[in-house]
Structure 1
Amino acid sequence: MNRIDIINERYALSGAIARTGVEVVAVGDPAGARFNAAVRRLTILVKDEGPGYLDDLAAAAKALRWRRMTQPQPLVFNPVILQLAREVERHSRRLTGAIAEQDLLDELSASAAAVAFSDSALGAVLLRSCLAVGIKNCVVVAASKPAAAGLAAWMEEQDVLVLTAGELEREKPKREQAYVVGPPRFYRSSLVTAPVTSGVSFFLPAWFGDRSVPSSAIALYAEGALRIQAHVLTQGDTAEPEVDLPAEPEAEYLPQPAWGARQAGEREPTNEEAEAHKILLSGGLAMWLDDGERIRSLDPCQPAGERVAYTDIQAVRAGTYLLLRQGETERGALYQAAIARLARGDEVDAAQVAWKQLLAEKLQTLGYRKTVRELRAAGVTTADRARAWTNPSLTRPHSDQGFERLLRWLGVDAQPTFGYATMLRKSLYRVSAEVREKLEKAVSAVDLSELEAVGHLSLDLETDGFRGILATRVLAISPFTEIVSRHDVRVPFKDGSGRWLE
């Protein structure tokens, strides 16, 4: 099938969905409804109290609620449900006497236990629907790769195909019906506005109140835009506890890490420090990510030979796969390898150290803000990068004119410093390209489906200084920065804050 045929088929499928709408099947879940009501009360308490002592309890509770919603397989295939329920009970017990709402702690423990010992009716309804339409005619769509792995382990005996929304889009299996697990609100609108199947049904617990189907971002402004109707069906015992609580934003239903509060205050970092966001990574790891220009990444969806690349720091998101050197930064190893290849490596290194030290002294005496103002007055347009330029592994400003003006402002003769820095940058590019080629070979030799399922994978490189490369998925990025030592930036370390995000 050529590209035009594929486009025509997608238009036909979109037309079918527009005519018939989508089903939203809301299934009664009394145990889940009770627990949801308790979690909503906890969420309000957390907002009133602020970040701190309730964070661990809230994180475990939201993770349990999310798993109940998106992984409705029987408990025998869902052991994490019991682990999460025990975490909720443990943190509730730990807080006994610390808050006045003891009844809330008791209800959280009791309702979590009820969830841990009762299969969700949602799973049974989903499986019956698959068998009714025919397993060769349907595909189950999961909210994430871990969710897909859990559902697939349960449904493999029935030979039901389970994919994520992204996999469905890429693989385009020949199926008539997509059964999507979870509320429409948590999926991209393209699942229904540019469907792969002629029928789409969403399955969610009845206690999740928003059953609306999202439209595309331009639907409000586009003439003739698709507006998909939702036909809501309810099944089972949909009774819920009566609660007088405000509607909960959809983001509150997502598993969330406990970030706490910013510790650095308003002080500026010293020359040996950096402002960095904490990034939670798959495999029980975390990392401090500074304001550098780019970081090496991996895209499993690209064809072989094009999977390893650099990603702009601002483009790193939850779901991005990073390639990290375990124990230390890749940048330091690249710098040393690039210096070693230069005939005048010692002179180049000394020149780099000299101008960077002068810049560091200016930052120390003038402060960051005044340094930036003076550099801008001198014509350095990217002056806000001044602190980053003191890092040894960042060779020089990208702009030739900007670098010359920076050196002039520092009182440094343009030559040989300018030439040395440019020479070093070219050497760095060559070393980086060679490492990339070896990484591509290492990536091609492993099963990337394991990376997508587990979230992290070790790669072996036959290159001195670059052994122990880790491919790992970004789980979450802190909403604020902290001031940390430059030596700690981009170095993975053990951290349990994201243990319930996978």
Structure 2
Amino acid sequence: MPNEYNTQLQVAAGEVGRQALRLLGAVDEEDLLREVSDAAAALSTRDPLVGGVLAESLAEVGSDSAVVVVASTRSRQGLDRWLGPLGGRVLTLGDLERADVPEEIAYFVGPPRFFKPTAVTAPRTPEVTFIVPAWFGDRTVPTSAIADYAEGGICVAARVIEVGDRPAMAPEQTLTEQNPIPEERLLPQPFWGRRPSEDRAPDKDEVEARKILLSGSRAIWLDDDGERIRALDPTQPPGERVGYSNVSAVAPGTHLLLREGEAERESLQARAFARIGARASAIEASQASWKAALIEKLAMRGVGESERALRALGVRAAGQVRAWASAHVMRPQSDGDFERLLEWLGLSVQPYFGHATLLRHEVHLATRELRDRLESAADAADLHELERVGHLSLDIAEPGLRGMFVTRVLAIAPFTELVRRYDARVPFADEGARWLE
């Protein structure tokens, strides 16, 4: 941007100069410090060349024919203050993928590696242009892996405009091109230490879980008992952002929907019991009764022998027998499996079957209601803030739903640990991801 709009650059350049002068006399390389100080001061003497080329390009083709694409929300906000009054439209690549794009040209400010490959391999405009300072070495434009094999494929014109003069002398190469250091290895990494848990099977009140570091100085223990966890996809259209992610698919970048101090399944059961009303105490006692009988059977016969006995009776999901003992699992999914399980426990089918089925039905209703509330809250939220910060509280005033928030997964532990079942999926404060943000 022109210097008159770029106050952050002026402040940063001034601070570099002040710090360089403070170090004079404290280090041996005074000439280098003065060079750094002079270079910072020189930034204020002329407007950045890239901005001038961008403004000329927009004037040449017309602001209605081109859209400017930047690498971050902060960059978008800054350039919009400059180009907005001139009629230019400034978007991030995420904005571009979701917006209606009538323009013919997309000017990407920065080298191709600052953007996802889809900027070129799945473009939104017929022409894509990257405006890059000449000193930036990697100007490689990505290509689709199937481009060479496609017949009649779309051919998008992508070009790179170099701005300024290249350095007279290329920096010394310390690595061969055949053996570069992957960029990921140079980024801050979390320290996981060693697994402190014993190397044994979990007890009835324990689960195997991985530690997940989250944006906002939080973490959770994520088990796979439930197979899925609620998530939000900000790239989807309104009304379709809230859903579930398979636990195995959770990865850095996934946005999880969690509740402060409580796992979602606990709040859903509480809402279900509240809906049931007067019969809630009888159903709660019924659930506790058959689960206590199952826990006693597992303790007496062992998990392996119990699974084999249930399979012999025709229970198809016998491998889930430990999960059925959990208070979070209302009943086996299959009616036949549940009836055979109750018979194996020496219990009559009723009232246990009817009570558990009613509870499951009410939990499903509560789940759908929660999803609708979360969709409404997500539609009203500033998802650009989520993209910039990594976490966002959802404004839900309804009792029982307060404290819901969205947070980005930053890192996942390479090993599991034994944790209490009631601690799984409950967010807690953790500074382990501070440097990842």
TM bucket (normalised to shorter chain) is 0.7 to 0.9
Residues 395 and 424, structure 1, Cα contact 8 Å, conserved in 2:
yes
**Whole-angstrom CA distance in 2 between matches of 1:228 and 1:260:** 48
**Whole-angstrom CA distance in 1 between matches of 2:378 and 2:325:** 33
**Deviation string, structure 1 residues 289-323 (Cα, Å, up to 9, x no partner):** 22113333334444544443344433434333332
Map 1:341-352; keep pairs closer than 5 Å. Answer: 341-342=275-276, 343-352=278-287
Report what 1:11 is aligned to. Answer: none
Gaps of 5+ in 1: 1-71, 83-109
Report what 1:195 is aligned to. Answer: 123
Map 1:240-389; keep pairs closer than 5 Å. Answer: 240-244=171-175, 246-249=179-182, 251-252=184-185, 256-264=189-197, 266-291=199-224, 292-342=226-276, 343-364=278-299, 371-372=306-307, 374-389=309-324
**Whole-angstrom CA distance in 2 between matches of 1:78 and 1:384:** 60
**Whole-angstrom CA distance in 2 between matches of 1:120 and 1:173:** 38
* Cα RMSD after superposing both structures: 4.1
Q: CA shift at 1:357, angstroms?
A: 3.0
Decide whether aligned partners of structure 1 residues 208 and 316 sit closer, same or farther in structure 2, where only a CA change above 3 A counts: farther
Map 1:431-442; keep pairs closer than 5 Å. Answer: 431-442=366-377
**Whole-angstrom CA distance in 1 between matches of 2:42 and 2:187:** 19
Match of 2:53 among 105, 129, 142: 129
Match of 1:178 among 106, 119, 130: 106
Report what 1:418 is aligned to. Answer: 353
Q: Kindly indicate which of the two structures has a greater share of residues assigned to helix.
A: 1
TM-score by length of 2: 0.74
Q: CA shift at 1:254, angstroms?
A: 5.7
Q: How many residues matched? A: 396
Letter in 2 for 1:200: V
Decide whether aligned partners of structure 1 residues 161 and 381 sit closer, same or farther in structure 2, where only a CA change above 3 A counts: farther
**Whole-angstrom CA distance in 2 between matches of 1:316 and 1:330:** 17
Q: Is the aligned partner of 1:474 residue 2:382?
A: no
**Whole-angstrom CA distance in 2 between matches of 1:382 and 1:324:** 29
Q: Could you say what secondary structure the match of 1:332 adopts? A: helix
Decide whether aligned partners of structure 1 residues 191 and 467 sit closer, same or farther in structure 2, where only a CA change above 3 A counts: same
Report what 1:213 is aligned to. Answer: 142
Letter in 2 for 1:156: R
Q: Is the aligned partner of 1:168 residue 2:96?
A: yes
Decide whether aligned partners of structure 1 residues 313 and 244 sit closer, same or farther in structure 2, where only a CA change above 3 A counts: closer
Q: CA shift at 1:366, angstroms?
A: 5.6
Gaps of 5+ in 2: 1-5, 17-31
**Whole-angstrom CA distance in 2 between matches of 1:119 and 1:297:** 47
Residues 135 and 166, structure 2, Cα contact 8 Å, conserved in 1:
no
Decide whether aligned partners of structure 1 residues 131 and 388 sit closer, same or farther in structure 2, where only a CA change above 3 A counts: farther
**Deviation string, structure 1 residues 313-359 (Cα, Å, up to 9, x no partner):** 33434333332221112211221221233342222212222333344
Q: CA shift at 1:422, angstroms?
A: 0.7
Letter in 2 for 1:252: R
Decide whether aligned partners of structure 1 residues 346 and 249 sit closer, same or farther in structure 2, where only a CA change above 3 A counts: same
Q: Could you say what secondary structure the match of 2:204 adopts? A: coil
Q: CA shift at 1:497, angstroms?
A: 2.5
**Deviation string, structure 1 residues 421-473 (Cα, Å, up to 9, x no partner):** 11100111222233333334444444443333333222343433322222223
Decide whether aligned partners of structure 1 residues 403 and 279 sit closer, same or farther in structure 2, where only a CA change above 3 A counts: same
Report what 1:8 is aligned to. Answer: none
Q: Is the aligned partner of 1:156 residue 2:87?
A: no
TM-score by length of 1: 0.65
Decide whether aligned partners of structure 1 residues 256 and 423 sit closer, same or farther in structure 2, where only a CA change above 3 A counts: same
**Whole-angstrom CA distance in 2 between matches of 1:434 and 1:384:** 31
Residues 197 and 418, structure 2, Cα contact 8 Å, conserved in 1:
yes
Residues 213 and 230, structure 1, Cα contact 8 Å, conserved in 2:
no
Residues 76 and 92, structure 2, Cα contact 8 Å, conserved in 1:
no
